[in-house]
Structure 1
């Protein structure tokens, strides 16, 4: 119980309070008209001008009720308490207007939009005013219980909507966090792929520079182009990671972008074969196939010893798409080494989509990465 009270006391205000809108002005207008009409037409109302003016003092509080929930509640329920004091001192009948039931809206706003401290302080003040009003009206137990039940119902309704809104915002933050984790993986894939390509070009440049100096400029131009693309994609991805809200950025690459990975003017050469029916995939699967192929190509460029040829093959097999990345590099005899973090991340990416991924030495030598993913993402 102590923990619950401490948690409520430390509860901050909700951050999504909407500004004053047309509905708020309509509420204020309707209340003002009802208060004026009741003040003018109710035959048994004592101290008619004073009561009407005090009732109209609630109108501004209705506009403050979300931005300043505690002051609004103190003003509204303070007016109700003042009328109860006047009723006791003047020994007259009930001075309240029926239209002043709008103070329930202020109580709702206090519980919905106030901080924990404001809710506790405001609720204590409301309890005192309600007790005073019941005493002034000489209410019996049935009326007292009915009034308390109504107040508790209003507070409970506000708490339910507050909890639902808080839960929705938490879910949105969790979704954004998951998206950022995915984007961080994409950033790793992008950097690893392009840096590997730059390293290969630089190695080729070192060989060419001694034999054909005139081609060194072409190699340097290719390195510059690759580095520029890397920086552009990194900046785009980092900008997304820094933003709290969604921002516009280029769509994720997919199977149709795989042919751009092909390379015939280098060692090793990269061949890409894509089955036409493999281009109609669910967006998450489409992006995953591209990233798995890109990561596998990066690993082959980095680790395949003496490789002269790397082949990327994507084909549709009924309700699944199969990706194979094969190189002809030399494999060391002995046990297969433990998979690194890159391969573990690739396996996890495939499993999250309901697929599988295996990697290991090929029967004819080299290294093979094979992933099988469902065409549609699991529900």
Structure 2
């Protein structure tokens, strides 16, 4: 119980309460009209113009009920609690019902300390009226019941808004992670190819300037692809520019990774089974996992001459295996684990209900194995 009370006391105010809007002015004007009409319609009400003056004086507190809920409650309920000292009885205007909006706003927009202090002020007002004989016991019980219901409603909307904000924060986090994976799997792939070509060009420039020139051409092409993909991602993120959306990569696009390059190991791709009717998320995941695995092998596999990409699809799942014949050195594991590639691969496989593992191959080299459900 002490922990619960402490958590209530330390509860912060909701961030960014809404600014005053035209509906607030309509609310104040409507209750002001109600006060005047009720005052004119009830000539038998004692001290009716005094009660109307008190109501009209505290009515503007509705305009500050969100940004300053505690001062608004203190002003309104304090005036309603002290005014009967002058009249000797409760003010009796039904239009004073507008204070219920203040009780709601106190629990909806106030901090824990403000809520506790405001509830104490409200309770003190009702108890004072009961003890002074200005209010019957049944009326006091009814007043407590109405105020409790209004306060509970404010608390419910407060925590509903907080739960909604947590959901939005979670969605934003997942979207950031997705963008990070896409950036790593697309742009980083081309940047890695540029690094490899640049290293090869530097190594061959003294003896074979033509090979260095070819390396520069490849770097230029890879840089253009990376820039195009980066611009495509930026267009998707911006709302003021039209995005030219391209089809998501599929398993059939894996053959674009195959071939023997001027530098680095050759890539061999083998696909078996029915992969034509794979759902788009599964096909894209297979391609991105294979692309990242090939990139890692070309960057980290020492003395590798071949990278094998194998995709086997059956009725229940799709199995991807990417292996190379490089050296199985401990530094390979350290370099792979130190980046974001492997973590992104595990996350990407997990998002579609699959698994992804990486480690030394049975003989030599490095093997990445991913199993994704077909559905």
Q: Does 1:281 find its partner at 2:275? A: no
User: Is residue 255–residue 278 contact of structure 1 (8 Å, CA) maintained in 2?
Assistant: no
Offset at 1:323? Answer: 3.2
Q: TM-score under structure 2 normalisation?
A: 0.77
The equivalent of 1:80 in structure 2 is 80
Residue 197 of structure 2 is aligned with which of 201, 205, 220? 201
* Superposition map of 1:4-23 within 5 A: 4-23=4-23
Question: Structure 1 residues 67-76 or 266-275, which shifts more?
Answer: 266-275
How far residue 161 of structure 1 moved from its aligned partner, in angstroms, is: 1.8
Q: Matches of 1:66 and 1:260 in 2, distance apart?
A: 60
Distance 1:5 1:364 in 2: 63
Structure 1 runs not aligned, ≥5 long: 241-245
C-alpha separation between the residues in 1 aligned to 2:94 and 2:62?
A: 16
The structural deviation recorded for 1:77 is 1.6
Q: Deviations over 1:175-229 (max 9, x none)?
A: 3334434444555555753443233212331354244313423322433554576
Counterpart of 2:297 (choices 286, 300, 304) is 300
Is 2:99 the counterpart of 1:103? Answer: yes
CA distance in 2, matches of 1:21, 1:195: 51
* Cα RMSD after superposing both structures: 4.0
Contact 2:126 2:140 in 1 (8 A): no
Distance, in Å, in 2 between the alignment partners of 1:4 and 1:365 is: 59
Question: Are the aligned partners of 1:355 and 1:373 in contact in 2 as well (CA < 8 Å)?
Answer: yes
The yes-or-no answer on 1:33 pairing with 2:29 is no
> Is 1:355 matched with 2:351?
no
CA contact (8 A) 2:346 2:356 kept: yes
Q: Which moved more, 1:364-373 or 1:12-21?
A: 364-373
SS of residue paired to 1:372: strand
SS at match of 2:12: coil
Q: CA deviation at 1:20?
A: 3.0
With the length of structure 1 as denominator, give the TM-score of the two structures.
Answer: 0.77
Distance of 1:365 and 1:18 partners within structure 2: 63
The aligned counterpart of 2:372 is: 373
Residues 77, 332 of structure 1: alpha-carbon distance in 2 compared, 3 angstrom cutoff: closer
Distance 2:254 2:195 in 1: 21
Give yes or no for the alignment of 1:51 onto 2:48. no
Is residue 171 of structure 2 the alignment partner of residue 175 of structure 1? yes
Partner of 1:57, secondary structure, is helix
Aligned to 2:288: 291
Distance change (3 Å), C-alpha of 1:81 and 1:363: closer
Q: Which moved more, 1:341-350 or 1:32-41?
A: 341-350
Provide the rounded CA distance (Å) in 1 between the counterparts of 2:309 and 2:171. 32
The gaps in structure 2 that reach 5 residues or longer are none
Instruction: Check conservation: 1:254, 1:288, Cα contact below 8 A.
Output: no
| Distance in 2 (alpha carbons) for counterparts of 1:205 and 1:68 | 68
| Separation in 2, partners of 1:216, 1:340 | 28
1:135-190 CA-to-partner distances (Å, cap 9, x unmatched) read 44443433322222222222222222212222222232233334434444555555
Q: How many residues align?
A: 363
On the 8 A contact 1:278/1:315 being kept in 2, the answer is no
Structure 2 distance, partners of 1:323, 1:107, is 61
Q: Counterparts of 1:140-151 in structure 2 under 5 Å?
A: 140-151=136-147
